[in-house]
Structure 1
Amino acid sequence: MLSTRPPTVWIDDSHAIVRRGMAACLQQADFVVRGESSALAPAPVAAGLDVLVFEYVGPTLRRAVRMVEGRTTRLVATVRDVNEQAVRELVDAGVGAVLPHGTLTPESLIATLRAVVAGSVALPGDLLARLLLHVTQTSSLGPAGLNPRERSVLRLLADGMDTRGIAEDLCFSERTVKNVVHDVLTKLNCRTRAQAVAVATREGVI
């Protein structure tokens, strides 16, 4: 049975006004803000935390990954300088969503976190294009390729659907969808759903 509790969030940013603005937006959208920090200090309490929103600056990515290791907490990065290196590092680390500061709005913040909590990924179109260039050199389809069920799930992932939506559309259980996604990531040698979509798009699978 799916949990109906409000999703929990920790907000990290070097500017207090940004943290408090994000917290106010999310609280109005029924998120529970568990705390806030700057450069991940004080350290977020990851136990039972659904989403850690952190500012991508220097070593914060490595710290964030270590903090949620072995947990179901999803990572969402806010980025001030969106460049190719940042995109590569964030995607390779398994970050579920990237929010450029320059285009961040209350609506995009709320929509992105809801998508991440539901099991989806969120990359702006220009970032997805950069990711596609990156994975061209780092990933390839395995010799076995993808079966029709895996391709169907990938197409829906590319459309931005979350686990529940894919399950309803294909008449699968959510567990089945998660298993299929796991198989796809393994075959494509990818760490994240966004990376898998980019690889499959490049290969003409979807």
Structure 2
Amino acid sequence: MRAGKPPSVWIDDRHAIVRRGMAACLQQSGFVVRGESGGLAPEPNLTGLDVLVFEAEGAALRRAVRLITGSPTKLVATVREPTEQQVREIVDAGVGAVLPHDGLTPEKLVASVRAVVAGAVALPGDLLTRLLAHVVKASNLGPGGLNDRERSVLRLLADGHDTRGIAEDLRFSERTVKNVVHDVLTKLNARTRAQAVALATREGAI
């Protein structure tokens, strides 16, 4: 997102009433809704788009990831009845936020999209615990595996803080925060911040 520009969003959902509701909430909070689709048809125009909010059903996750490959557009997934496998796949794909339809409020939608725009993650605590054991087995997390600084950064990531917010809270430089995040991802064998937060939460490291 360019400085001074309101964040832009594309909304995808099978149901027009859901799309219109999400669009209204985001527009009232200063977002620019660039378009709507159902089942990613018509295909979203990603030129200059900050966030694609899409319904992660069927093959939509793979299509959404393919669409944004090579672009700075970030993903927010909505799910109707999340399963362990679905949440695992969403997190592994690098999606920045997972929003179950059940219990979704205007406030949660706006806060989650804002967090993703800022480079943070937004994963509800009850969904974090759904990640499968294979993620844990694939990691290098063990007793003493994360130091105090790394755990502090992860806790703030889990709370939705972006790099700048973490730097201000911990009185680090933004470069230091980025380096710590890189080290955490390496230690946890995680590809994304969302996956690192989910794994660390599951293991009780944060």
Do both share a fold (TM > 0.5)? yes
Q: How far apart in 1 are the matches of 2:202 and 2:88?
A: 17
Contact 2:94–2:195 at 8 Å: present in 1 too?
no
1:143, distance to aligned residue in structure 2 (A): 11
Hey, what does 1:102 align to over in structure 2?
102
CA offsets 1:134-162 (integer angstroms, 9 cap, x no match): 52233233899445433331232233322
Write the distance in 2 (CA, Å) between the matches of 1:108 and 1:120.
14
Per the alignment, residue 15 of structure 2 pairs with 15
Alignment of 1:87-126 (within 5 A): 87-126=87-126
Give aligned-pair identity as a percent: 76
Instruction: Decide which moves more: 166-175 or 20-29.
Output: 166-175
The CA deviation string for residues 86-109 of structure 1, in whole angstroms up to 9 with x for no partner, is 111101101110111111111111
C-alpha displacement at 1:9, in angstroms? Answer: 0.4
Which stretch shows the higher mean deviation, 190-199 or 96-105?
190-199
Is there any run of 5+ residues in structure 2 with no aligned partner, and where? none
Please say if 1:149 is aligned against 2:145: no
Equivalent pairs, count: 205
Q: TM-score w.r.t. structure 2 length?
A: 0.89
Q: Render the CA deviation track for 1:122-181: whole Å, top value 9, x for unaligned.
A: 111110111275522332338994454333312322333222210101222334322321
Q: Are the aligned partners of 1:88 and 1:134 in contact in 2 as well (CA < 8 Å)?
A: no
How far apart in 1 are the matches of 2:12 and 2:132? 28
Is the CA contact (8 Å cut-off) linking 1:131 and 1:195 kept in structure 2? no
Q: Matches of 2:38 and 2:154 in 1, distance apart?
A: 36
SS of 2:78's equivalent in the other structure is strand
Indicate the residue corresponding to 2:41 in structure 1: 41
SS class of match (1:9): strand
SS in 2 for 1:153: helix
CA contact (8 A) 2:140 2:189 kept: yes
Q: What is the one-letter code of the residue matched to 2:18?
A: V
TM-score (norm 1): 0.89
The corresponding residue for 2:165 is 165
For 1:47, give the aligned amino acid.
T
**Paired residue secondary structure (1:131):** coil
Deviation sequence 1:164-199 (CA, Å, 0-9, x none): 210101222334322321221122110222321233
* Cα separation, 2, equivalents of 1:109 and 1:49: 17
Unaligned runs of 5+ in 1: none
Q: Comparing 21-30 with 180-189, which one deviates more in the overlay?
A: 180-189
CA–CA separation in structure 1 for the residues paired with 2:48 and 2:144: 38
